[in-house]
Homo-oligomer: A and B are copies of this chain.
Amino acid sequence: MHCRIETSPIDPDALKSCLRDVRAGAFVTFEGWVRDHNEGRAVTGLHYEVHERLAVKEGERILAEALARYEILDAVCHHRAGDLTLSEVAVWVGVVSRHRAAAFEACRYIIDEVKARLPIWKKEFYVDGESGWVNCAGCAAAHDHAHERV
């Protein structure tokens, strides 16, 4: 069980190897990819700012919660920092369990909590040359509609 912040591309195959377990019958993963649109605006790329030490600490707290709540064997989460281009993997969550229900539920729990709790901020860059911090009241006002999230 571990949570890490990475400044270079995430390698899902390497993370999957960490989770190999002959007792496991189910392996569920979530990958967050950089989309080409958000809230109707064409996106060209984005930048993640991360407070690494606190993000890792809070991420491992979330993984420990998942291991306590669900019948899973292990779980891992890696999140990117820095500049990302379209289709890059922004976040990877993997969970192994004996039976599939627990793996699905734990994976969903982890990504929901990671998005809500880790000190990570996303700045989007748009085709028109503008940029904005996602979920920021000032930035939302600037283009006059509510934010939605992946």
Interface residues of A (CB under 8 A from B): 13, 20, 22-37, 86-87, 98-100, 103-104, 107-108, 111, 148-150
- The reply to whether B27 and A27 form a contact with Cβ atoms under 8 Å apart is no
Report how many copies the assembly holds.
2
Complexed CA–CA distance, A148 and B71 (Å): 15
Complexed CA–CA distance, A24 and B33 (Å): 7
- The reply to whether A27 and B23 form a contact with Cβ atoms under 8 Å apart is no
- The reply to whether B104 and A150 form a contact with Cβ atoms under 8 Å apart is no
A33 CB contacts on chain B under 8 angstroms? 24-27
- When C-beta atoms are compared, the residue in chain B nearest to A93 turns out to be B28
What distance in Å separates the Cβ of A18 from its nearest Cβ neighbour in chain B?
A: 14
